[in-house]
Amino acid sequence: MAHNINYNRNTGKYFFFSVQQKAWHGLGQIVTDYPTSAEAITAAGLDYEVVKTPLYTQRESPVIGQPHSNSITVPNYFATIRTDSNAVLGVVGKDYQIVQNRDAFAFFDAIVGGGEGILYETAGALGNGERIFITAKLPDYIRVGKGDDVTEKYLFLTTSHDGSGSITAAFTPIRIVCQNTLNASLKNMTNVVRIRHTSGAQQRLEDAHRVMGLADRLSTQLEGIFNNWAAVRTTDKELRKLIQLALCPNGETLELIKKGAEDEFSAVYRNMVNDAFAYAMVSDTQQTDTTKGTLYGAYNAVTGYFQNVRSYRDGEAKLQSIVMGGTAQSKSQKAFELCDAFAQHGAAVLN
């Protein structure tokens, strides 16, 4: 699969690191010990500076015989530029405040240094370096069934230099057996915390504890929900209907689903449903006691389709879709809500 990890042509290295395992897509640096956030940023080559510079536009044509400059300053807009490569990362307004990579995740070292067992596992830059991310592995696991179906608990932390967003921390559970991302928002509870750009030590500590509190509450609730789903049986027909509803793109398709008019589905949508259903039927990771013929398996069929079957333009597109509020995340959330309703009210919710 294509990737979009930033590459340094001068050093021949990718801006990515991973701990004790093959780095993302086989690229980047591997380190043996878990680092602090500052060390992770250095290992991934993210210790570059970003500055805000005036933005100019070119005059269309000079007036003959008149003194002039070929460029005009664009008022109230600036370019964000990497000082190591002069790469333009984005265009921002006059009030935009740059937060350097080394500072973006420093708030979280307050928890790491507090002996909470958080481990920074990967870090990287996407595109020209306009977006950076760190994944932090949390202690303990979400265990489903007799305990052999294990989901690791991660925080996905990201920030950008192109004006597209603030620092965010998302609780992102990943089922070990298939590297399947199972992030979901519960009713009245999001899995994302947005962090203010602040350098105050007290605020950093409060933000870190806020993120940890979210992760603790969500992991406890999700473990109970997943174990409940693993005990709810589903037929192949119910599984296919749930997949259809979760992946449904619009109201017109929904009406076709209700009528059972599968022959009228668009080719793209039909293929999506077939691929997700096939993943549920044949993938080894879907044949466990907790997933085969269960509601938990139905949820994994949808999330696993986006994680392990569907093709993406590049690594950044996959990241955006699955973790950062894109199509995969929204469809997976729909699957979560359908499974939750099924567990409470039975198969009638699929009609």
Buried b (16+ CB within 10 A) or exposed e, 205-217: eebbeebbebbee
Considering the domain architecture, whether residues 299 and 339 belong to the same structural domain is answered as yes
Residue 109 CA to residue 175 CA, distance in Å, equals: 26
pLDDT value at position 23?
44
Residue 283 CA to residue 303 CA, distance in Å, equals: 13
Considering the domain architecture, whether residues 115 and 196 belong to the same structural domain is answered as yes
Of 89-103, 164-178, 263-277, give the lowest mean pLDDT range: 164-178
pLDDT value at position 229?
95
Considering the domain architecture, whether residues 222 and 235 belong to the same structural domain is answered as no
Considering the domain architecture, whether residues 42 and 144 belong to the same structural domain is answered as yes
DSSP 305: I
Q: Which residue has the higher pLDDT, 188 or 70?
A: 70
pLDDT value at position 2?
41
Distances (CA, A) of 235 to 124, 215, 226, 242, 293: 42, 33, 18, 11, 6
* Final residue in a domain of this structure, among 182, 199, 226: 226
| Stretch 177-184: mean pLDDT | 75
| Stretch 273-300: mean pLDDT | 92
> What distance lies between CA 35 and its chain's CA centroid?
21
- Written as six digits, the tokens of 40 are 């992770």
Task: Inform me whether the pLDDT recorded for 335 exceeds 90.
Answer: yes
* Final residue in a domain of this structure, among 184, 201, 226: 226
Task: Inform me whether the pLDDT recorded for 348 exceeds 80.
Answer: yes
- Written as six digits, the tokens of 219 are 């992991």
Considering the domain architecture, whether residues 200 and 259 belong to the same structural domain is answered as no
Contact call for residues 131 and 123 (beta carbons, < 8 A): no
- Specify the 3-state DSSP secondary structure of 232: coil
- Domain of residue 339: give its range: 231-350
Q: Considering the entire predicted model, what is its pTM?
A: 0.80
268: enclosing H helix or E strand = helix 267-282
- Domain assignment present for residue 186? The answer is yes
Q: Which residue has the higher pLDDT, 266 or 107?
A: 266
- Domain assignment present for residue 60? The answer is no
- Written as six digits, the tokens of 318 are 């996959």
Residue-by-residue DSSP string for 87-149: -EEEEEETT-----HHHHTGGGHHHHTTT---EEEEEEEETTTTEEEEEEEEEEEEEETTTTE
pLDDT value at position 12?
57
pLDDT value at position 85?
87
Query: Domain count of the chain?
Result: 2
287, 285, 257, 294: which is closest to 272 by C-alpha? 257
Highest mean pLDDT among 27-41, 128-142, 291-305: 291-305
- Domain assignment present for residue 71? The answer is no
- Domain assignment present for residue 91? The answer is no
- Domain assignment present for residue 255? The answer is yes
Instruction: State the amino acid at position 157 in one-letter form.
Output: L
Task: Inform me whether the pLDDT recorded for 81 exceeds 70.
Answer: yes
Contact call for residues 32 and 137 (beta carbons, < 8 A): no
Considering the domain architecture, whether residues 290 and 237 belong to the same structural domain is answered as yes
Considering the domain architecture, whether residues 16 and 164 belong to the same structural domain is answered as yes
- Domain assignment present for residue 145? The answer is yes
Of 16-25, 172-181, 330-339, give the lowest mean pLDDT range: 16-25
Considering the domain architecture, whether residues 123 and 166 belong to the same structural domain is answered as yes
Can you state the angle between helices 251-259 and 236-247, rounded to 10 degrees? 160
pLDDT value at position 158?
84
How would you classify the pairing of strands 16-19 and 29-31?
A: parallel
- Domain assignment present for residue 65? The answer is no
- Written as six digits, the tokens of 161 are 């230099």
Of 162-171, 230-239, 297-306, give the lowest mean pLDDT range: 162-171
Considering the domain architecture, whether residues 154 and 37 belong to the same structural domain is answered as yes
User: pLDDT class for 14, splitting at 50, 70, 90?
Assistant: low
> pLDDT tens across 183-201, in order?
777 766 677 888 776 656 6
- Domain assignment present for residue 204? The answer is yes
Considering the domain architecture, whether residues 200 and 244 belong to the same structural domain is answered as no
Considering the domain architecture, whether residues 153 and 31 belong to the same structural domain is answered as yes
* Final residue in a domain of this structure, among 205, 226, 247: 226
Considering the domain architecture, whether residues 152 and 189 belong to the same structural domain is answered as yes
pLDDT value at position 31?
65
